[in-house]
């Protein structure tokens, strides 16, 4: 964790804490009572800890992917769509294969990565070939992904016995093992942590990582050094989407055990704040994901015990996403002027 990422984490944490305090006061709740309920809801017992870890996992995969794009100077706002397409392909593959469980789980994650990578690569290609603004293209691709998924699960891919728009249930043997029995916390979390360590190594110790960072930090110097910014844009968006797609696969195999259109309540958008609060450093992002996972699970307890609406937490997360993304985007624009 470098100084900049530690500073981003501290500022983000303090900002969320201050906003939560204001929300409690506005709801006529003592911050002491409110935070007590919040921390109990996030860490008060086995079930609460498991819920926090499950939310952490769901946020960590797309946040790591977003960090790849942002480190390359690209603003990937499309992790939600990439997660959705990855989950769709993972859920479809999981119902079409008949192999040993370990191979099936690997295939499900690979399918998720491929789906997310292909969806991310569309925006990367548009940036590389047509210099299309990636903020607009990735945002629009979110809506296209949602519409495409809805069409497929209500039409050609819908399960024969489905009560709603969803695919068939995965075979029980293909469900991810849980870390804590009878909870939503699964082995997807250690897989995500391994991905974080691998990404840290790639960014800091490989030629690809060097090109990525050079393109993001000094694009003109990178171009003069012979680095193809178009190639970096394409591959950065593809790898960014791959990690988000793995998040979709983790949700399909670990929680829902099938794909449906309610796969994500906005994890891809919240992950933007997770990545930025983590200073775009993989290991710091793990800490930020845990903090936001606690926000998700603790927010429910805060609503039940203190009457502070869960939507207030979502508003805080949304404002944080907007503020941090705008700060980084405007900072990058200023640096290129």
**pLDDT tens digits for 75-126?**
999 999 999 999 999 999 999 999 999 999 999 999 999 999 999 999 999 9
Tell me what pLDDT residue 10 has.
Answer: 78
Q: Model's pTM, two decimal places?
A: 0.92
Tell me phi and psi for residue 103, to 5 degrees.
-70, -40
Rounded (5°) CA angle 145-278-33: 100
Q: What's the rounded Cα separation, in Å, for the pair 272 and 198?
A: 20
Q: Is the pLDDT of residue 333 over 60?
A: no
Least confident interval from 65-79, 98-112, 156-170, 190-204: 156-170
The CATH architecture assigned to 3-19+52-331 reads Orthogonal Bundle (1.10)
Contacts 24+ apart (CB under 8 A), 102-109: 104/171, 104/173, 104/174, 105/174, 105/176, 105/253, 108/170, 108/174, 108/249, 108/252, 108/253, 109/191, 109/246, 109/249, 109/250, 109/253
């Amino acid at each position: 964790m470098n100084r900049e990422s530690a500073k981003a984490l501290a500022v983000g944490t303090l900002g969320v804490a201050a906003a939560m305090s204001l929300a409690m006061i506005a709801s006529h709740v003592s911050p002491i009572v409110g935070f007590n309920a919040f921390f109990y809801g996030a860490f008060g017992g086995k079930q609460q800890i498991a819920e926090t870890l499950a939310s952490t996992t769901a946020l960590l995969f797309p946040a790591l992917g977003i960090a790849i794009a942002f480190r390359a100077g690209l603003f990937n706002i499309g992790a939600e769509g990439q997660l959705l397409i990855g989950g769709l392909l993972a859920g479809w593959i999981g119902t079409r294969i008949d192999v040993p469980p370990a191979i099936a789980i690997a295939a499900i994650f690979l399918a998720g990565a491929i789906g997310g990578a292909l969806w991310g690569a569309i925006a990367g290609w548009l940036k590389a070939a047509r210099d299309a603004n990636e903020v607009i293209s990735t945002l629009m691709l979110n809506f296209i992904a949602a519409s495409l998924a809805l069409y497929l699960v209500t039409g050609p891919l819908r399960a024969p016995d489905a009560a709603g728009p969803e695919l068939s249930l995965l075979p029980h043997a293909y469900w991810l093992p849980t870390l804590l029995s009878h909870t939503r916390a699964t082995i997807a979390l250690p897989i995500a942590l391994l991905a974080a360590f691998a990404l840290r190594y790639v960014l800091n110790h490989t030629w690809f990582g060097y090109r990525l960072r050079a393109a993001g930090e000094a694009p003109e110097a990178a171009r003069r050094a012979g680095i193809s910014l178009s190639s970096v844009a394409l591959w950065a968006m593809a790898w960014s989407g791959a990690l988000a797609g793995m998040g979709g696969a983790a949700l399909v195999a670990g929680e829902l055990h099938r794909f449906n259109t309610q796969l994500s309540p906005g994890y891809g958008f919240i992950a933007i704040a997770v990545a930025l609060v983590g200073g775009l450093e993989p290991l710091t992002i793990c800490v930020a994901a845990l903090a936001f996972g606690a926000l998700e699970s603790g927010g429910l307890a805060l609503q039940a015990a203190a009457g502070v609406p869960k939507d207030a937490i979502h508003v805080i997360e949304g404002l944080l996403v907007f503020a941090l993304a705008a700060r980084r985007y405007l900072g990058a624009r200023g640096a290129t002027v």
